[in-house]
Amino acid sequence: MSKLRNFLRGPAGKLLAVVVISIGLFVLYLNGRSLLGESQVASNSRDRIFIDAESGKAFEHRLQIGDTYPIESPYTHKKTGYPAELCYWTKDGQRKHDPTPVLLNQYKGKKGPTFCPDCGRLVVPMNPIGQSAPPTEADYKKNKKGDADDREDSE
């Protein structure tokens, strides 16, 4: 036991202590970095894209406790900001990186499904980023009609 104490008091022991403390600090540093990274992601997810229903312009807004929809738009300074759905598709059915923010018809008080003003494809609430492109307005109407024609379980 006294041998160990002597060792720790000696130069080799001090070196060992320094190494152990360094490793400890490095681990703390890594943990801190990953924690920081996570909180960064979390704060990004609170930044949502909204659309001003009057001007049709998109803007970013950080959600806060107590926010109710619609939120105040920086363009009209009125409560005309609605959460945007993001469309990641192009007209020819390719994925794109910069999504188009789309205002859903339901927020405009319009009936019927919403189609992206950019690519003309179907946009739904909580728009999923699916594997294949959503139907265009023409396809959607065609399919709707097809569904009605060969619907078997109704009646």
Residue ranges that bind Zn ion, judged by CB under 5 A: 87, 89, 100, 116, 118-119
Minimum distance of Zn ion from residue 111's CB (angstroms): 20
Across the strands, what pairs with 59?
Answer: 50
* 48/71 with CB nearer Zn ion: 48
* 5/96 with CB nearer Zn ion: 96
* 71/107 with CB nearer Zn ion: 107
Minimum distance of Zn ion from residue 49's CB (angstroms): 14
Minimum distance of Zn ion from residue 123's CB (angstroms): 7
Query: Which helix H or strand E contains 33, and what residues bound it?
Result: helix 11-46
* 40/94 with CB nearer Zn ion: 94
Using the CB atoms, write b or e for 89-110: b if 16+ within 10 Å: beeeeeeeeebbbbbbeebeee
Minimum distance of Zn ion from residue 105's CB (angstroms): 15
